[in-house]
Homo-oligomer: A and B are copies of this chain.
């Protein structure tokens, strides 16, 4: 393997490519965020931090920031992609603000918009945008976080008074971890089991007042503060109990299910399960926002650690002059550069996901009454999008956790100091792997999508009961290319069949390797699950024994999607030197992924032992090759210096190191050894 020479690259074209379709939103956000209070919040008490974040949220509202994502008829821009890009950019600042904004405008506002009808929109959308009505998204309960279909809060219709009675039947049914609940929320979208005429109709959402204008909790509602958390302490999470709270019939967000005055239930969607999953579609944007913000946090951490690694020196090289810059050590490069490469890959995957959602939302908007709901192709694309949002959220948030941690360790003791921001980045993003869907549960969702083809073919069967059915599906069609179809086709077709001699940097070989892994893992999962319906087999046991295998299927699927998006991104690049650099970054991303999964490739005869060793050698060589470009690669994220903020990354450290070297040169003849 020969690595082609990569010329020096300026950040300009690289930043432009990364900025992509919503570049204008990103540039505007950079300007705005550089002028806001610095992201550091570690010297604040919980109450101070909450107050600061609320004030910042108000500034955003006053500047009209949240309008971008809301419908034009309510003064918004209807720019879904721009809205998601804005959330991603907030990830460069104090993540408490990003999450608080996400709760207010993404989850609370988004649920009212998506699940409500005109009466709700007219009543509250403007107030939500302006922050006159701070609100909560009250879904999770103590007893049910991942399994939200089985929430226990009840909303029982009373035809006598034409009201719903909202109730928390026992302790585990209390709403928990609800953002905006402990301090600021005035209203809440509450998810509850709808009961009318003595019959349960599944989970529905109601728009409910929880505090009055003066901020006092309304009768029938009890709120408790969740208290201090690992991070995100600018967000006021709380617990909510309802004690037979009576709310008008019109509180029901009735787009997907309604109750007439006499208590008759109606819905445009048949089946409690299918209706519920349609409602859950509103969570997609939340997941995409979290993935985006996680990506931004990882980029901030990488910018800090790479810059520090380029100024920090430790240990004299044998026979060398002076101490070695720590990023020259292979072990240090390995901590940071493959993670940096994967951050690039995920950036392009995120951009593609946002674009897809934006276009799908566009179809909705232009269709007026969103008749798209009943269009099978629309539903197909919607399911595909949900699956990809779930998969990328899991991949992106785990990547952020690992990467920020590696950055902290790479900065040693300096990385442990709050002033250098890594502790807060780490602590704030930690829960990203859990909220908006636990990552493990999300990967199962992805796997379920892969296994069934698409849900509508199999109705509402659970992930296990239908195992035999699944097994009979044709899965070979699942590997459906998501981006840059023709370019990838060309690459794959150009690969010679003899893998052993193919260059390790051959992109077509990379794609084939990832596709082949995905197909094989999926195929073998299906074979295992086939036995779930056998006589005497305990379906839970069959599923459970295969759980790690199922999760692997989802992971390698996401790996392939991400790679394709990276390739498509490089295809869009028109600046030749930038393209060359990105190709090497992509090589490192791919081969580090292969190396991490080497046991699979070896164990399944996909790589010989010689070639496996060559992969490790190539990762090392690519790290060395990209080392001179490390500064460019983090600078191209164009994070405002005011937001990077860490003294070790913003010149102060470099100045001190320079002073030391000057001093030592001066003293050189002062003492003898």
A residues lining the B interface (CB < 8 Å) = 42-43, 45-46, 140, 142-147, 150, 152, 169-173, 176-177, 195, 198-200, 226-231, 313-320, 323-324, 328-331, 334, 401, 405, 408-409, 412-413, 415-419, 422-423, 426-427, 430-431, 433-435, 438-440, 462, 464-465, 538-540, 543-545, 547-548, 551, 595, 598-599, 602-605, 609, 612-613, 616, 620, 656-657, 659-660, 663-664, 667, 671-673
Bound: A544/B319 CA distance, A: 14
Q: Is the CB of B599 within 8 A of A605?
A: no
Contact between A544 and B329, CB atoms less than 8 A apart: yes
User: What's the least CB distance linking A624 to chain B, in Å?
Assistant: 8
Cα of A477 to Cα of B431 in the assembled complex, Å: 48
Q: Is B319 touching A538 in the complex (CB atoms < 8 A)? A: yes
Partner among B143, B228, B328, B602 whose Cβ is within 8 Å of the Cβ of A544: B328
Q: Are A146 and B544 in contact (CB under 8 A)?
A: no
In the complex, are the beta carbons of B45 and A45 less than 8 A apart? yes
Most buried by B among A318, A438, A659: A318
Contact of A659 among B171, B330, B605, B616 (CB under 8 A): B171
A-B contact pairs, 12 of them (CB 8 A): A143-B313, A146-B314, A147-B315, A170-B660, A195-B671, A200-B672, A229-B416, A319-B465, A329-B544, A409-B434, A423-B427, A548-B616
In the complex, which residues of chain B have a beta carbon less than 8 angstroms from the beta carbon of A331? 440, 547-548, 551
Contacts of A656 in B (CB 8 A): 142, 171-172
Chain B minimum-CB-distance residue to A418? B228
> How far is the CB of A116 from the nearest CB of chain B, in Å?
26
**A230/B418 contact (C-beta < 8 A), A331-B440, A673-B200 known:** yes
CB–CB B230/A427 < 8 A: yes
Closest-CB distance, A285 to chain B (whole angstroms)? 20
User: Shortest CB–CB separation between residue A129 and chain B, in angstroms?
Assistant: 28
Task: Give the docked Cα–Cα distance between A484 and B43 (Å).
Answer: 52
Question: Nearest Cβ distance between residue A133 and chain B, in whole angstroms?
Answer: 25
| A439 to B440 CA separation, bound complex (whole angstroms) | 30
Query: Chain B contacts of A314 at CB under 8 A?
Result: 144-147
**Is the CB–CB distance between A545 and B434 below 8 Å?**
no
Set of chain B residues within 8 Å of A170, measured between Cβ atoms: 659-660, 663-664
B672 and A319: CB pair below 8 A? no
Q: Which residue of chain B has its CB nearest to the CB of A601?
A: B599
- Taking CB atoms, residues of chain B closer than 8 Å to A401 are 405
Given contacts A440-B331, A540-B317, A671-B199, contact A660 B172 (CB under 8 A): yes
Given contact pairs A173-B660, A228-B417, A230-B418, a sample of 10 additional A-B residue pairs in the complex whose CB atoms are under 8 Å apart = A150-B315, A230-B417, A230-B423, A318-B462, A319-B465, A319-B540, A328-B544, A408-B430, A599-B612, A603-B609
CB distance from A422 to the nearest CB of B (A): 8
Cross-chain contact of A419 among B146, B227, B317, B544 (Cβ < 8 A):
B227
Distance A329 CA – B551 CA, assembled complex (angstroms): 12
A401 to B, closest residue via Cβ? B405
Taking a contact as CB atoms under 8 Å apart, the answer to whether B548 and A334 are in contact is yes
Q: How far is the CA of A465 from the CA of B315 in the complex (A)?
A: 13
Cross-interface CB contact of A416 among B328, B415, B430, cutoff 8 Å: B430
Minimal beta-carbon separation of A489 from chain B (angstroms): 31
Q: Among the listed B143, B330, B538, B602, which residue makes an inter-chain contact with A548, where contact means beta carbons less than 8 Å apart?
A: B330
A440: chain B residues at CB < 8 Å are 331
A436 to chain B, nearest CB (A): 11
The complex places the Cα of A51 from the Cα of B600 at a distance, in Å, of 53
Judging by beta carbons under 8 Å apart, are A660 and B171 in contact? yes
Inter-chain contacts of A599 with B (CB < 8 A): 595, 598-599, 602, 612
Q: Which of B172, B231, B438 is in CB contact (< 8 Å) with A412? A: B438
How many Å lie between the Cα of A226 and that of B423 in the bound state?
A: 14
Residue of B145, B426, B603 near A598 (CB, 8 A) is B603
Provide the bound-state CA to CA distance between A430 and B416, in Å. 8
Q: Are B551 and A417 in contact (CB under 8 A)?
A: no
A465 to B613, CA, bound (A): 27
